Chains A and B, each alone.
Chain A
Amino acid sequence: MKKISSVMVFALTMLLFVSVVGAQTIELTYWTHTDDNRTMIENRYIEEFEKMYPNVKIKRVVNEASKMGDLILTAFSANNAPDLFNLPIEQEYGYMIHQRLAPVNYAAVGYKDAQELIDNYQEGTFDPISMDGVIYGMPLELTNWSIYINDRVFRDAGLDPDKDWPRTWEEMADISEKLTLRDGEVVLRRGFDFRYPYYLVSVLPMVEQLGGKLISDDGKTAIVNEAAWTQVLEFMRDWGPHGRNLGSPTYPAPRKIWNKDNNDMGMCLSGYYQQGRLKIDNPEFHASNEWRVVPFPVFENAVNDVRASYYGHYLVVNAQTPKNKQEWAWKFIAYMLDNPWEYLETVQILQPRKDLLEDQAFMELPYMDVFMSDMSKSHAVFLHENGYQFERFIGDAVEGVMLAGEPVDRALKTLKTRIQEVLDDVY
């Protein structure tokens, strides 16, 4: 008993100590995902910022991207969340809906009001992170995906990359067929393969090209236009090992191995940042000029010209952080984000501030025109409070028809039931 009480006394003294010291220095915790180059420049920004404001200390915590969602959620549920953080917008949206995010402090980030902030960025930048006219985050990066092509693989298969690149999904499948090398049923070289877990970003737009929707505009009905969904699921089924055997989620992710130029991946789906990674992973291939970027394909019978959705990370501030700390958090965010060129050149991530986009040098960046043209034809990734859950359901359907041999109609029916159930909230 003695021990316990002495521990308690110790803990209380510590608490007191921390709160007294806390009055003098502002300590901000910033959680973000791993990205070596970004870590480098942001650590420098932190150093500079702390030098400018010696009363502020910033603790930057890095975690692997795929684990960030789980970690931040657990931290929030235990009221132990960081002061500022970033997550993919699909996930941040739920935090905004549940009022866990603090509105942007316009003065602290250096703008008169919301309108001035909006005017300074590309149109639509703040749409995903606004609710009832209030903005809740500042864009750390906006990304959309186009198709990277390895010219050498094309030529190896007797194709001319200048002419034979795929414009439609049907062509994509046919060209991939030509590029694929197999040993029996085992694929040794793939022509193209999808980015499997990210169905909202790349597979849902394919449905939308055909006029389908995940949920109706009034938000009450799941799966609009079943024919469009059926066509996409059939396309995926034919793509998989039980169809034309062109690829599958169980092979290594295409964008990883594409960089290595090991003659095992013809095309991959990725953002502008892929070029930066390529330069590090394989400088010879990067400099060879034997790769190119072409637009995201559309179906032959498409009714909407929609390309892969753009998604992003916004820097946001925890609503439960005390007001004065919130102000410092926004000041720090503004300080970091005042360097769009450095983020673009060092980290290859795009912060769509107008002065950057209107810079002559910007559009001259390799293949930036392809990405910007695709982006102008796309919209922000599907956002919903349960978006994360829907993505898992779509994944189950796609993987079911591709891998587990589930019939398309049954997979679609299950998908519809599951999403409808969430919409109806069966409590």
Chain B
Amino acid sequence: MSTFKAKYLTLDKAVQALIWLFLIASCVLVLIPLAFMFTASTMPAIDILKLPYPWISDHFHWQNFWNAIRGPEGTFEFLRNTVNSLVVAISVSFFTVMLSSITGYGLAKFEFKGRNLVFMLIMATMMIPFETIMIPLYMVVTGMGMQDSYVGLIVPFVANAFGIFLMRQFLIPFPNEVLDAARIDGASEPRIFTQVVLPNAGPAIATLAIISFRAQWDNLLWPLLIVQSENMKTIPLYITKFMAETHSDEGIMMAVAVLASLPMFILFFTLSKYFVNTEGLHSSTKG
């Protein structure tokens, strides 16, 4: 994150006021749906589609949250499903970071025949829409007996082209002299990677970890296909239960939405530094 402050800008007052106005107005527009989610989650369903929308409820309708956690069948699967989502998202981001940095490092710092081809092939996978390979992928995964398990939810997403791209871009400007110095000191290549490269890739790693965590927290289609038992379901699947016709109640739905977003919001506020960090993307433009 650059600390560049626009000191060189001494815009006149009127222009500056307009800029502030524009920023504040867009900010309000962007935040309205979020405010709607939070306020609606505290209202009984009948108030949510009342004209005009009340915005502030008379009293906190806590039953929404109780019902959201209790679940349509009263089985409290919410907690278990949250744990599943966390396990999957954390594992995927951990393995993605490891694999992407190794691969990105290999592509950035080693000359070998076919390197560009390998990079092209990997990048090409970014252009495959998931719906395209959904069924063959399902066959592969069930063929390996990985359905309805954490392994099946995690492994197919570990190799991530965007992650490799990010790590490669970040590592290209990494000074070769440092690596060579370590080599001359007799360090083995894996050791150089773990002790020299990884410790210096912090910002990119954090950004990538957050990106892949978010993607898995959001993943709906794949768990829908391969998860069978209730206690392997993830949060997006839990939410779709409330969209089913027999159970939907707008207030409870919004409470589920709030609860399902909580872990992401907590991450967002504690790690905001890394959320708004895209340094990895720019290193090549600088270097």
Contacts and interface: CB of A to CB of B under 8 A. Distances in A.
Is there any pair of Cβ atoms, one from A and one from B, under 8 angstroms apart in the complex? yes
Interface of A: 11, 14, 31, 34, 36, 39, 59, 61-67, 70-71, 74-75, 77-78, 80, 183, 186, 188, 252-253, 255-256, 260, 262, 277
Given A34-B72, A36-B73, A61 B138 contact: no
Q: Name the residue in B45, B145, B240, B245 with the highest tally of chain A Cβ atoms < 10 Å from its Cβ.
A: B245
Contacts of A39: 73
Contact of B224 (A65, A71, A75, A80): A71
A66 B145 contact: no
Nearest to B241: A64
The 7 A-B pairs with the shortest beta carbon distances in the complex, nearest first, are A80-B142, A78-B139, A61-B228, A78-B142, A64-B244, A36-B73, A78-B138
A74 B224 CA distance: 11
A36 to B, nearest CB: 5
Nearest to B233: A63
The range of chain B's interface size is 20 to 34
A113 B5 CA distance: 86
Q: Name the residue in B45, B143, B228 with the highest tally of chain A Cβ atoms < 10 Å from its Cβ.
A: B228
B261 interface: no
Nearest to A251: B49
B246 A256 contact: yes
Given A36-B74, A80-B147, A183-B51, 7 more contacts: A34-B72, A34-B73, A61-B228, A70-B224, A77-B139, A78-B135, A260-B45
A256 B46 contact: no
A39 B71 CA distance: 15
Contacts of B45: 260
B230 A62 contact: yes
Interface string B96-139: 00000000000000000000000000000000000000110011
A67 B224 contact: yes
B46 A11 contact: no
B63 to A, nearest CB: 14
A61 B241 CA distance: 14
B248 interface: yes
Contacts of B72: 34, 36
B178 interface: no
A66 B246 contact: no
A403 B219 CA distance: 31
B229 A61 contact: yes
Contacts, number: 59
Nearest to A66: B244
Contacts of B19: none
Interface of B: 45-46, 51, 72-74, 134-135, 138-139, 142-145, 147, 224-225, 228-230, 240-241, 244-246, 248
Contacts of A77: 135, 138-139
Contact of A74 (B51, B135, B143, B144): B135
Nearest to B51: A183
B174 to A, nearest CB: 29
A66 B134 CA distance: 19
Contacts of A262: 46
Contacts of B143: 78
Contact of A64 (B135, B225, B240): B240
Contact of B51 (A63, A188, A277): A188
B142 A253 contact: no
Contact of A253 (B134, B241, B245): B245
A90 B49 CA distance: 35
A186 B147 CA distance: 46
Contact of A34 (B139, B224, B244): B244
A252 B248 contact: yes
A347 to B, nearest CB: 12
Contacts of B144: 11
A107 to B, nearest CB: 31
Contacts of A11: 144-145
A264 B143 CA distance: 50
Contacts of B224: 67, 70-71
A62 B229 CA distance: 7
A329 to B, nearest CB: 17
A47 B252 CA distance: 33
A67 B145 contact: no
A128 to B, nearest CB: 23
Contacts of A183: 51
A28 B51 CA distance: 52
A188 B49 CA distance: 9
B138 A256 contact: no
A379 B104 CA distance: 63
A256 B241 contact: no
A243 to B, nearest CB: 22
B151 to A, nearest CB: 11
Contacts of B134: 74
A265 to B, nearest CB: 12
25 contacts: A11-B145, A34-B246, A36-B72, A36-B74, A39-B73, A59-B229, A64-B240, A64-B241, A65-B244, A65-B245, A66-B245, A67-B224, A67-B240, A70-B224, A71-B224, A74-B134, A74-B138, A78-B142, A80-B142, A186-B51, A252-B248, A256-B245, A260-B45, A260-B46, A262-B46
